[in-house]
Chain A
Amino acid sequence: MPSLDEISVLSVYSAMAVYAIAFIAFSIDLARRGAVAAKAADADAGLTGTADGQPAAEREPVGVLQAAATTKAAASTAAASAGGAGGAEASGRGSRWRSATADGASVAYGRSPALRVGVAMTVLAWLLHLTATLLRGFAAGRVPWANMYEFALTGTLIITTVFLIVLVVAKHDLRFLGTFVTGLVLVLLGAATVNFYVSVVPLPPALQSAWLVIHVFVATASVGFFALSFALSVVQLMQSRRESLVASAKAAKKSFLATLPDSNTLENLAYRVTIVGFILWTFTLMAGAIWAEAAWGRYWGWDTKEVWTFIIWVVYAGYIHARATRGWRGSRSAWLAIIGFSTVLFNFTVVNLFFKGLHAYSGLL
């Protein structure tokens, strides 16, 4: 009878295998995009629409005014009852994603079985991953994020979760990020299981705190958002390079990028994802300070981990400012998002493993 932790590890390996399949499928899709774009460029028919219209979602059949026309008295009731929904969200329930061309993509992109396989496999891998993480938690009898291996396990799970959630809520079709997301998760999970695995041990007293649950979880969640922001910013940079070439070079039209949203759309998306990550990171920093006060008697002491949390926060504050500054919007701010995520990764890997400090919880020492 294998232990819970053994099943968990088995589940991690299965998840990695399925992530690998998803990664391949997403990559095939990207390659196909290149081909479609090339064909479109050759045919110079960038506008073949694919948006097969769906009926508009059901709405309230009449507005306030129609009601007013019938009876003045009824009008005020209708207005009052409808008042709560003022300035509400888009009502287009039937259609989550804009058509490719509405994103500003220059080439419409039709059906892609590879993309479907990629998403389906990602969901499957996510389920296995979730199982692995839960089992690890049960095996330990606590939250599964108390050492490097567990940070990696939970952190990558959250990256996938954020990706899947964003797919569901975003109005844009962001499935093309799958290559990046599954690739990143695969690499991190692989590195973690090979290098960081430690068996289940009880929590040292310094980690026995509700803040472990909150602070570390929120930190990992914001890493999920920053990862997406990084990916979007990279694609944004590539896209804007292509856009500056597109007038002159025919080759640029053949790139898979032609099927993706334009750089401006990508920038807006990256910004939205980043600010969510930034808020979570702000909270992480503050929760960490509160915890540090309880555990070490001071809320801020420039411990190495605190220093890097601060650096990450400041870099992203710089990014948000850059987005609002003439001459910095666009590629420069995208570079800041990329630097930001690099500091996040640095903090998670190098700082955890090689820097000395109070936060020595990698479990590897």
Chain B
Amino acid sequence: MVSTSSSDRDGGVDPLRPADHVDSPEPAPGDGPGVAQPKLGFVGWLRFGWRQLTSMRTAILLLLLLAIAAVPGSLVPQRSSDPNGVTQYFTDHPDTAPVLDSFQMFDVYTSAWFSAVYLLLFVSLIGCIIPRTKHHFEAMRARPPRTPVRLGRLAGYTTRPLPDGVDAETAVAEATKLLKQARYRVERYELRGEPSVSAERGYLRETGNLVFHTAMLGILVAVGVGGGFGFAGQRVIVEGQSFVNTLAAFDSFNPGRFFDPNSLAPYKLSLNELGVVYETQNQDALGQPIDFTAHVTITDQSGPAEDGQVKVNEPLRTHGTDVFLLGNGYAPHIVVRDPDGEIVFDDAVPFLPQDANLTSIGVVKVPDGLDAQLGMVGFFYPTQDVLGSGAYASTYPDLVLPVLTLNVYEGDLGIDSGVPTSVYTLDPSGMDQLTGGETGVDSIELKPGERTELPGGRGTVEFVDDSPDAPAAVPAGSAADRDYAQSVKRFASFDIHHDPTQGWVLVFAILILAGLLASLFVPRRRMWVKVATRRDGSRVIEFAGLARGEDPGLEAAVAAFADKLAGPVAGAESTHDTAKPTT
């Protein structure tokens, strides 16, 4: 074993701890800056500040502060996770919302004050682990400390007579061997003619602690880098349609700050079918969805098409991106014709679900082909029923009695001004309502396979039945009830992500867990075995231990070691063996 020059320093192998750690020596009164040192230069103050920042006390305070700072983000909706909630909050609380906003309450986790707390904590962490790591490397090369002169006051102190016929050297040699087998680092010492072995184990405890704290830093960095270079995009795809992984094809796209759009792999994803299973047996849960499976095909320039599937909880990982199935709904197929029968609109329009039974709202915009721009706001009921109030509702999420109602508007759709508008909303401010509401004209109401006139001879609208065996369209109200199970296509809403450092985050997380286990459960302890000579000249073997940190099993370990080396004390009972109270 290599010993360092300063190996005699007692405690030289203890882990380094901030000054206010319980294992650090008590500071002498007047130590450090305070009244005793009235003049503290700039460097002195700097050093003082750094000492404060890297103290245990500061770490606790910053940790508690971090916990408190995280709370508001759970009370107030956050832009990152719930943007609609934020909009709603502004509507509901027009007075307080701007005030909260000025404190970044809707962006708590990226706010200046939250960032300040965790960045300070991590600076403190760095300041704490760098010296400790350096020290730990040295400690691992240092030799176990000198055997104390008197073992009697140390933990688990016990003695055994030196058996007849065994000399002191042999006893210590055997002890050394056994300790080594028990993964102790050992060092022989000789003090006043009494041979002894000093042993230490559990360096892994400090290693674990350092790995734990460093890995936390690693997570922070990995998350930051991943956020900078990754992207997240959303795209709605109707059954039978497809999407190409390019910037323009996303409905919404959130790139990281350093994301390069050219790095998108241009593969094509086609949604063949979205399979949905609903509960039909359990009366307490009729219509509850049990399974969503999107059957897709992936194609790229190089290889053959590949079939795959995306389920909730089972993303599809392809071309460096992860594809998640996050939403679904119906996309009624609507055809609008002008008075001459020419098709001016023909599309499956995704309707956004509003409740568990998939009552859905959607918008049809017909910008060209008619005399004026036409807009329609539609409600779709997969299984329509009439409430007592006369209003419609859907009572089951699957297609049992699908009904589409449309309110027609004419005028300026507002899409020519260049201001981006949502495909899911219609701004009726510049338009005249032609059906529904206060117009006195009934809303258009269609079942799949039905068509009807638009008011005022503006043309016709048809709700196309997409079933494979669908008959030709008939006028509204005249379709015979049939099996509508396939009559309306579904859409899937996919989230497509790329996070280059996700794997690193996982690695650091595993290191955190492993480090934590080591640092909390590996006991760091010292053990000494010494052959001492009593006043009467008899010789005994002395055993004692010393805990470095939490070590509830120390005394038992010393006793067990003594027993193994020299046998149990005849007829005596060691401390850990007292009986429990009988009750």
Contacts and interface: CB of A to CB of B under 8 A. Distances in A.
Given A91-B556, A91-B559, A202 B495 contact: no
A54 interface: yes
A173 B560 CA distance: 23
B268 interface: no
Contact of B505 (A112, A299, A325, A356): A299
A205 interface: yes
Given A52-B579, A303-B81, A87 B573 contact: no
Contacts of B201: 87
Interface stretch (B34-42, B174-182, B236-244, B433-441): B174-182
Contacts of B23: 324
B521 to A, nearest CB: 8
B553 A89 contact: yes
A250 interface: no
Contacts of A13: none
Interface string B397-434: 00000000000000000000000000000000000000
A199 B284 CA distance: 7
Contacts of B91: none
Contacts of A97: 580-581
Interface stretch (B64-72, B388-396, B482-490): B64-72
B372 interface: no
A294 to B, nearest CB: 5
Contacts of A63: 160, 562-568
Q: Which of A90, A278, A310 has most B Cβ within 10 Å?
A: A90
Contacts of B505: 299
Interface residues of B, number: 100
A79 B60 CA distance: 46
A111 B67 contact: no
Contacts of A201: 279, 282, 284-285, 288
A16 to B, nearest CB: 24
Given A59-B563, A82-B564, A282-B512, A68 B583 contact: no
B581 A50 contact: yes
A329 B22 contact: yes
B14 to A, nearest CB: 14
Q: Which of A97, A113, A205, A308 has most B Cβ within 10 Å?
A: A205
Nearest to B577: A92
A272 B550 CA distance: 9
Contacts of B313: 205-206, 208-209, 291, 294-295
Given A199-B284, A321-B59, A325-B56, A57 B577 contact: yes
Contacts of B581: 50-51, 97, 99-100, 108-111, 173
Interface stretch (A187-195, A235-243, A312-320): A312-320
B303 interface: no
A286 interface: yes
B289 interface: yes
A268 B553 CA distance: 12
Given A202-B282, A282-B512, A86 B561 contact: yes
10 contacts: A64-B565, A65-B565, A79-B178, A99-B581, A111-B583, A173-B580, A300-B223, A311-B71, A318-B67, A327-B20
> What are the 9 tightest A-B residue pairs by CB atom distance, in nearest-first order?
A86-B182, A97-B580, A90-B556, A63-B567, A201-B285, A297-B324, A83-B181, A205-B312, A325-B56
Given A204-B288, A294-B313, 12 more contacts: A64-B564, A65-B541, A87-B182, A199-B284, A208-B312, A286-B512, A301-B80, A302-B73, A317-B63, A321-B63, A327-B57, A356-B82
Interface of B: 17, 20-24, 26, 56-57, 59-60, 63-64, 66-67, 70-71, 73-74, 77-78, 80-82, 85, 108-109, 160, 162-166, 170-171, 174, 177-179, 181-183, 201, 223, 232, 279, 282, 284-285, 288-292, 311-315, 322, 324, 326, 495, 497, 502, 505-506, 509, 512-513, 516-517, 520, 541, 550, 552-553, 556-557, 559-568, 573-583
Interface of A: 50-54, 56-57, 59-66, 68-69, 75, 79-80, 82-83, 85-92, 94-100, 102, 108-113, 115-116, 171, 173, 199-206, 208-209, 268, 271-272, 275, 278-279, 282-283, 286, 289-291, 293-304, 307-308, 310-311, 314-315, 317-318, 321-329, 343, 351, 355-358
